[in-house]
Chain A
């Protein structure tokens, strides 16, 4: 920190500093000069430096600033200009939220997000006609939580001109359009709707989202933008505005168009290049059928040769590659391709990533380790999807449900797991992520709090080649850290999600301080 042109050095004392450099390593003091940590150790440090100020931690805990290693930032920003149906439990809730959405006229189309039939007591999505009853003058498009299905009212159906040959239109028993549009039709509608909104609308929620992430102790967000579910203008918006954010935003561009990525000078490609889909949409690729859709094994979106061709090309260009694979068939395909490409042209520290890795087989875990693959996983899926009647329960049979997100076996194998929120599908809340990994409903898959903490700190940094500067609290590293009211390695596991972030520091500077923190 620099004040009046002079370097500003300060110390933190009397804390429980968890540097995440070793399971049992703890310190009580840390010295920060400008944006860097220049020393970490015990109380003796105070004598060695001439400090401008001292922060007495009074026993509170300091951890490295959190990483969220896979989220969709622009889409999360858009929550500000969209109706968020997260809390809707009935049609009446849905209608109330639509009615109370302000400034309907300000947007060419009203976006609704995250509507899930699993959460509604009616156990289905509303129809076009039902939506028309609430809003008929303005186009309304609701993106269901599974992304592959959208709902439109009549005005939106009129506006978006989705080709009827896209085969995604659902009709009711009278042969009328229900307003529910799936797959290809939904993708087309989404792109068109995003294209209708200008940059200002897209970024309207930026401050709110970034501030909320900061309040949760996040100092680096790894955002996945572009691709079929979103819009290609999103990655460009992130690059244009990344310097405006108070925390670091690292971009994964979900495209197979390598030229675009090179032109933007990005060192990595992918994030959500879909090798398969999701359980919710029945298109995560399985070896056994879905519980609620007999005979259905999901879908692979790449053939081996096509994926091999893409990965080889990106590998030749030394790009870090990241692919989305949820089901075991997709995971196997990705591992096959990575293995063959790396066999042809070995590269030691590639850090290729598989995003989600939700239902791997034991052999996949072994192979991922052998290949040096980083796994970007979403522990909060276990928190939100696990209950009776929720997604895992509905889609997956008993055997499969036992094997989702097996953090323990993965970590025991020595694989780096980067923790992610998948916002805007899930909230940006690393402590909740840590809680979910530690309290996995399948006891055999639980990791201890230290490993969970690593997922959201050093492993996140490792996942984007930033571990030499961030992710741990070490001399010479950037002073990104947060102060917690309790020690996550000591509290009862059930209370992890209750831990409060008292302050967040980015580049040595306090960017958030809770009002209750003195």
Chain B
């Protein structure tokens, strides 16, 4: 089988042997062009003038002849005769039946509406990093195809996500949309859909968490405010969620050990804020220590929102054995974020696995605005304090006491008494 892989890095594989580098770049480009164009025949003159536009007609045709010979030679070596056939002096034919190409499969699958299979085929840009400097028309064609494939991929993923979301499979819907964020991390439309699906599924905390993320990304990278559509959607969610506080009935049983520490900078006097900020900023991430920054931006968090921030941080900064992370921990994060939360103890237990597998000896929750913390996240920190025995854990934070946060007061009291 001759396989041509073009959606991502380009490979030419014949009978499982990678022969990509056996062809000159132009010969490979020529083969790719003919395979992708998928025509019954090609005029030699057209191909020659496309690939050797700067050459005289005769010289261009000679070069084309040589390139076709190179392609034939490789195919013949693996006993694939007549893949490229000449017909008279002017025509070349390519037997596409003998070649399997992911690009053509991708287009076929889209036509058949087999969207998931199509989306799985894309491993990167069309002909990623494949550039032939002196073939301008080929480059034109590559860029347009690259755009075409990418836009189709966005369309596919939107449709796939919509299908999954309508079947309540938020995890897969999110996965489809997240693959788009990897390509275009500043795309507001993708974030809009993510937020909408989370919201529709009842996972308002994930929706709010996603909005806060895109808001920060847009400000940092483009210095812009989210679009009116995104803002309106967020306001709608926030209005519904604003007063939705899930009360915690569990009593804190502070059992602070020598490995654990809480350091709260109480902000009774606002002029102290700068000093406290400096103290917090002096903690340094290093190989021994993992610092999780939460409540960096102002605003009261809804239930579990702080926990989502912790998950984002640990996903970004945590030191893990990568296989364990991909196989075991990523699915946990995905399920926590994409499923409606029903049982705190189960949820906390799952999240604790993330800490257990993490390789740092010290863990610091650095909470820039403790007063904004939601009750459930406070409960979770208490849970980690009680259950995680292998790490030194510290909570440092600034608490503006002009805000009321009774759960936080209880937590501080319980642990300061032990």
A interface residues, Cβ below 8 angstroms from B: 129, 132, 136-137, 154-155, 157-159, 161, 163-166, 169, 175-177, 184, 187-188, 191, 227-228, 255-259, 262-263, 265, 273-274, 301-303, 306, 309, 312-313, 316-318, 345
Residue among A158, A159, A303, A345 having the largest count of chain B Cβ atoms under 10 Å: A158
Judge whether A165 and B184 touch: CB under 8 Å: yes
CB of B131 within 8 Å of the partner chain: yes
Judge whether B281 and A184 touch: CB under 8 Å: no
Q: Which residues of A sit under 8 angstroms from B125, Cβ to Cβ?
A: 161
Judge whether A273 and B140 touch: CB under 8 Å: no
CB of B222 within 8 Å of the partner chain: yes
Judge whether B187 and A163 touch: CB under 8 Å: yes
Interface of B is mostly: helix
Judge whether B136 and A228 touch: CB under 8 Å: no
Judge whether B131 and A158 touch: CB under 8 Å: yes
Q: Choose from A158, A227, A262 the contact partner of B277 (Cβ within 8 Å).
A: A262
Interface residues in B172-188 (C-beta closer than 8 Å to A): 183-184, 186-187
Judge whether A228 and B146 touch: CB under 8 Å: no
Q: Which residues of B sit under 8 angstroms from A164, Cβ to Cβ?
A: 146-147, 150-151
Q: Which residues of A sit under 8 angstroms from B183, Cβ to Cβ?
A: 163, 165
Over the window 172-214 of chain B, the binary record of Cβ atoms lying under 8 Å from chain A Cβ atoms (1 yes, 0 no) is: 0000000000011011010000000000000000000000000
Nearest opposing residue in chain A for B284, CB measure: A263
The 8 closest A-B CB pairs, nearest first, are A163-B184, A158-B131, A263-B281, A164-B147, A136-B133, A228-B223, A274-B223, A154-B139
The answer for the CA separation of A129 and B219 in the assembled complex, in Å, is 34
The answer for the CA separation of A184 and B225 in the assembled complex, in Å, is 13
The answer for the CA separation of A169 and B154 in the assembled complex, in Å, is 17
Over the window 267-287 of chain B, the binary record of Cβ atoms lying under 8 Å from chain A Cβ atoms (1 yes, 0 no) is: 000110110011001000000
Judge whether A317 and B273 touch: CB under 8 Å: yes
Judge whether A256 and B139 touch: CB under 8 Å: no
Q: Which residues of A sit under 8 angstroms from B130, Cβ to Cβ?
A: 158
CB of B221 within 8 Å of the partner chain: yes
Judge whether B222 and A187 touch: CB under 8 Å: yes
Other contacts beyond A137-B133, A187-B222: 13, CB < 8 A: A136-B133, A154-B139, A155-B133, A159-B131, A176-B140, A177-B140, A191-B221, A228-B222, A255-B220, A259-B277, A262-B274, A316-B270, A318-B274
Residue among A132, A309, A317, A345 having the largest count of chain B Cβ atoms under 10 Å: A317
Can you spell out 9 A-B residue pairs with CB atoms less than 8 angstroms apart? A155-B131, A155-B133, A161-B125, A161-B128, A176-B144, A177-B143, A258-B277, A312-B298, A317-B277
The answer for the CA separation of A257 and B296 in the assembled complex, in Å, is 9
Q: Which residues of A sit under 8 angstroms from B281, Cβ to Cβ?
A: 259, 262-263
The answer for the CA separation of A165 and B274 in the assembled complex, in Å, is 41
The answer for the CA separation of A184 and B274 in the assembled complex, in Å, is 34
Interface residues in B117-165 (C-beta closer than 8 Å to A): 125, 128-131, 133-134, 136, 139-140, 143-144, 146-147, 150-151, 154
CB of B312 within 8 Å of the partner chain: no
CB distance from B153 to the nearest CB of A (A): 10
Q: Which residues of B sit under 8 angstroms from A273, Cβ to Cβ?
A: 223
Judge whether A345 and B270 touch: CB under 8 Å: yes
Nearest opposing residue in chain B for A273, CB measure: B223
Interface residues in B76-105 (C-beta closer than 8 Å to A): none
CB distance from A225 to the nearest CB of B (A): 14
Q: Which residues of B sit under 8 angstroms from A265, Cβ to Cβ?
A: 278
Q: Which residues of A sit under 8 angstroms from B140, Cβ to Cβ?
A: 176-177
Judge whether B223 and A227 touch: CB under 8 Å: yes
Q: Which residues of A sit under 8 angstroms from B45, Cβ to Cβ?
A: none
CB distance from A431 to the nearest CB of B (A): 33
Judge whether A309 and B151 touch: CB under 8 Å: no
The answer for the CA separation of A122 and B162 in the assembled complex, in Å, is 48
Judge whether B278 and A301 touch: CB under 8 Å: no
Residue among B125, B219, B231, B274 having the largest count of chain A Cβ atoms under 10 Å: B219
The answer for the CA separation of A417 and B326 in the assembled complex, in Å, is 56
Number of interface residues of B (CB under 8 A): 41
Judge whether B150 and A163 touch: CB under 8 Å: yes
The answer for the CA separation of A262 and B282 in the assembled complex, in Å, is 9
Nearest opposing residue in chain B for A264, CB measure: B281
The answer for the CA separation of A169 and B296 in the assembled complex, in Å, is 35
Judge whether A313 and B136 touch: CB under 8 Å: no
Nearest opposing residue in chain B for A177, CB measure: B143
Nearest opposing residue in chain B for A272, CB measure: B223
Q: Which residues of B sit under 8 angstroms from A161, Cβ to Cβ?
A: 125, 128
CB of B339 within 8 Å of the partner chain: no
Nearest opposing residue in chain A for B183, CB measure: A163
Q: Choose from B150, B231, B271, B298 the contact partner of A309 (Cβ within 8 Å).
A: B298
The answer for the CA separation of A407 and B44 in the assembled complex, in Å, is 69
Judge whether A257 and B131 touch: CB under 8 Å: no
Residue among A164, A191, A259, A306 having the largest count of chain B Cβ atoms under 10 Å: A164
Q: Which residues of A sit under 8 angstroms from B293, Cβ to Cβ?
A: 259
Q: Choose from A159, A191, A227, A303 the contact partner of B225 (Cβ within 8 Å).
A: A303
Judge whether B184 and A166 touch: CB under 8 Å: yes
The answer for the CA separation of A169 and B293 in the assembled complex, in Å, is 37
CB of B324 within 8 Å of the partner chain: no
Judge whether A154 and B136 touch: CB under 8 Å: yes
CB distance from A208 to the nearest CB of B (A): 30
Q: Choose from A176, A187, A263 the contact partner of B221 (Cβ within 8 Å).
A: A187
Nearest opposing residue in chain A for B231, CB measure: A303
Judge whether B278 and A165 touch: CB under 8 Å: no
The answer for the CA separation of A456 and B220 in the assembled complex, in Å, is 31
The answer for the CA separation of A274 and B220 in the assembled complex, in Å, is 11
The answer for the CA separation of A10 and B56 in the assembled complex, in Å, is 76
Q: Which residues of A sit under 8 angstroms from B278, Cβ to Cβ?
A: 262, 265
Over the window 244-283 of chain B, the binary record of Cβ atoms lying under 8 Å from chain A Cβ atoms (1 yes, 0 no) is: 0000000000000000000000000011011001100100
The answer for the CA separation of A317 and B139 in the assembled complex, in Å, is 52
CB distance from A456 to the nearest CB of B (A): 28
Judge whether A154 and B184 touch: CB under 8 Å: no
Q: Which residues of B sit under 8 angstroms from A165, Cβ to Cβ?
A: 150-151, 154, 183-184, 187, 189
CB of B347 within 8 Å of the partner chain: no
CB distance from B222 to the nearest CB of A (A): 5
The answer for the CA separation of A187 and B222 in the assembled complex, in Å, is 7
CB distance from B211 to the nearest CB of A (A): 13
Q: Which residues of B sit under 8 angstroms from A157, Cβ to Cβ?
A: 143
Q: Which residues of A sit under 8 angstroms from B224, Cβ to Cβ?
A: 301
The answer for the CA separation of A318 and B274 in the assembled complex, in Å, is 7
Judge whether B225 and A301 touch: CB under 8 Å: yes
Nearest opposing residue in chain A for B138, CB measure: A154
Judge whether B298 and A184 touch: CB under 8 Å: no
CB distance from B158 to the nearest CB of A (A): 11
CB distance from A193 to the nearest CB of B (A): 14
The answer for the CA separation of A302 and B223 in the assembled complex, in Å, is 8
CB distance from A355 to the nearest CB of B (A): 13
Judge whether B273 and A316 touch: CB under 8 Å: yes
The answer for the CA separation of A159 and B130 in the assembled complex, in Å, is 9
CB of B368 within 8 Å of the partner chain: yes
CB distance from B129 to the nearest CB of A (A): 7
The answer for the CA separation of A309 and B147 in the assembled complex, in Å, is 39
Q: Which residues of A sit under 8 angstroms from B184, Cβ to Cβ?
A: 163, 165-166
Judge whether A175 and B144 touch: CB under 8 Å: yes
The answer for the CA separation of A165 and B181 in the assembled complex, in Å, is 11
Nearest opposing residue in chain A for B271, CB measure: A318
Judge whether B273 and A184 touch: CB under 8 Å: no
CB distance from B160 to the nearest CB of A (A): 16
The answer for the CA separation of A279 and B186 in the assembled complex, in Å, is 25
Q: Which residues of B sit under 8 angstroms from A258, Cβ to Cβ?
A: 277
Q: Which residues of B sit under 8 angstroms from A155, Cβ to Cβ?
A: 131, 133
The answer for the CA separation of A495 and B146 in the assembled complex, in Å, is 57
The answer for the CA separation of A302 and B133 in the assembled complex, in Å, is 42
